[in-house]
């Protein structure tokens, strides 16, 4: 008998009917001879509604109290799901993140898991119960306060619990049938990927694909925990996220050069214009941003003009951090000595990802030619060993995604993708 950890997203438990459907799947997994641990998100849009409520009361709610409020969503889900499982004749016990032993640092709103000590969960398993754990939350090791893990935190909770329990697999259920070669809302002919490596999934998550959270995939790769991405609305096989060598072991599959196309509309671009081309200027700019807790993505520095000895430095960052970043740089303008800032929040990022591009020449040329043929102008370019990303105007993102998808022959012969709940989570 093995342990299976299952995580259900908000769209899967959005209402009573969804909760009953999920309960039947959990009980069927238990009856198949598995010990089952379930991690559950808040119902539907509960978290967003709680955030809106907090902002109506306070424009800047204290982090501790906001975390206390937001964790209520998952506590509702876990309790109601336990009741639904009980109605099917199977005992279930629900646990908050702290009761399940999810220990974090003290950073409210974006806490990181330090340790998982799942004693009470193991006790429930030994008693033959289904253990249901509230995702997205834990307890600070130092302050003992309730914390939240940030967006996608339930995915991370599930993988961390699976690792701590030495589970056979971590199943992530949402309202799509797996990981696809592109967002099916943009590319209806997107093809489902049967198996994909941790590295490719990390790149897809980091570049805008919403099906799995970045930190969850990092955790799974570190501890070699297989992730099975499936839909709670169907019985289709879904997508396995595993080691690269395990992808190649599947003799029925030829390794694709490009695995998928990801896009991200949540970034903005800042250009620092007229930076003196001398030692220490870049360090001063990015040191200022680091002190403001800004995470950067792409960075490009232009060649300095010979007549002025000035250069421009452009970078992308989360759009939500745009004001903070420009305010911090404006405050330091006198010390750094640049001329002015340009800010553009009407951009998008489009990326092609694939381990096969390591040994395939001409990928960048093919990508850029496809964008040119679609009339898409490239503003910035960034690459890794298995990724090429470009920044384009926001209104050209859809055209860029479709062009890249078609150029690399990723379209399925027939429409495969269905978003059952409408959110992709």
Q: What is the largest CA-CA distance in the chain?
A: 80
Mean pLDDT in residue range 411-423: 64
Residue 389 · residue 351 · CB < 8 Å: yes
Residue 306 has a pLDDT of: 66
- List beta partners, residue 113: 104
3-state secondary structure of 388: strand
- Domain coordinates in residue numbering, the chain: 3-251
Residue 249 · residue 338 · CB < 8 Å: no
Given pLDDT bands bounded at 50, 70 and 90, which one contains residue 234?
Answer: confident
Residue 142 · residue 106 · CB < 8 Å: yes
Residue 251 has a pLDDT of: 47
Cα 339 versus chain centre, distance: 36
- List, for residues 31-45, the tens digit of each pLDDT value: 999 999 999 999 999
Given pLDDT bands bounded at 50, 70 and 90, which one contains residue 416?
Answer: low
Residue 185 has a pLDDT of: 85
Distance (Å) of CA 332 to CA 246, 289, 295, 319, 402:
50, 10, 18, 21, 41
E strand residue ranges, 98-242: 102-104, 113-116, 130-134, 137-140, 146-148, 169-174, 195-197, 227-231, 239-242
CATH assignment of 3-251, among 3.30.56.10, 3.50.50.60, 3.10.20.310, 3.40.1160.10 = 3.40.1160.10
Given pLDDT bands bounded at 50, 70 and 90, which one contains residue 418?
Answer: low
Mean pLDDT in residue range 357-373: 91
For tokens 């509960």, name the residue.
46
């Amino acid at each position: 008998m093995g342990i299976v950890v299952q995580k259900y997203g908000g769209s899967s438990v959005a209402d009573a009917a969804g909760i009953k459907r999920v309960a039947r799947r959990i009980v069927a997994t238990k009856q198949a001879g598995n010990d089952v641990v379930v991690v559950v998100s808040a119902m539907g849009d509960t978290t967003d509604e709680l955030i809106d409520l907090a902002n109506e009361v306070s424009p800047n709610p204290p982090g501790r109290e906001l975390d206390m409020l937001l964790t209520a969503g998952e506590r509702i889900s876990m309790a109601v799901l336990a009741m639904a499982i009980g109605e099917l004749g199977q005992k279930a016990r629900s646990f908050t993140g702290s009761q399940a032993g999810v220990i974090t640092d003290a950073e409210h709103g974006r806490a990181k898991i330090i340790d998982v000590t799942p004693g009470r969960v193991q006790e429930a398993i030994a008693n033959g119960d289904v253990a249901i754990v509230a995702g997205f939350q834990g307890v600070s090791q130092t302050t003992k306060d309730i914390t939240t893990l940030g967006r996608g935190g339930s995915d991370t909770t599930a993988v961390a619990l699976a690792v701590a329990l030495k589970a056979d697999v971590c199943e992530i259920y949402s309202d799509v049938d797996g990981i696809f070669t592109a967002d099916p809302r943009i590319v209806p002919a997107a093809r489902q990927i049967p198996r994909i490596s941790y590295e490719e999934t990390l790149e897809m998550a980091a570049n805008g694909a919403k099906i799995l959270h970045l930190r969850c995939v990092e955790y799974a790769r570190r501890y070699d925990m297989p992730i099975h991405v499936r839909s709670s609305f169907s019985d289709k096989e879904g997508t396995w996220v595993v080691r690269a060598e395990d992808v190649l072991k599947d003799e029925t599959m030829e390794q694709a050069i490009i695995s998928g196309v990801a896009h991200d509309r949540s970034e903005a671009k800042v250009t620092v214009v007229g930076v003196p081309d001398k030692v220490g200027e870049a360090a001063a700019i990015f040191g200022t941003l680091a002190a403001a807790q800004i995470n950067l993505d792409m960075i490009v520095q232009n060649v300095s003009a010979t007549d002025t000895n000035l250069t421009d430095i452009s970078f992308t960052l989360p759009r939500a951090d745009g004001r903070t970043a420009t305010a911090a740089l404006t405050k330091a303008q006198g010390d750094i000595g640049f001329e002015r800032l340009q800010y553009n929040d009407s951009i998008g990022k489009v990326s092609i990802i694939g381990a096969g591009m390591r040994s395939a020449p001409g990928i960048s040329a093919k990508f850029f030619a496809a964008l040119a043929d679609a009339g898409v102008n490239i503003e910035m370019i960034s690459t890794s060993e298995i990724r090429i990303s470009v920044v384009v105007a926001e209104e050209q993102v859809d055209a860029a995604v479709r062009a890249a998808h078609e150029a690399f022959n990723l379209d399925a012969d027939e429409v495969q993708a269905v978003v059952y709940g409408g959110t992709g989570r």
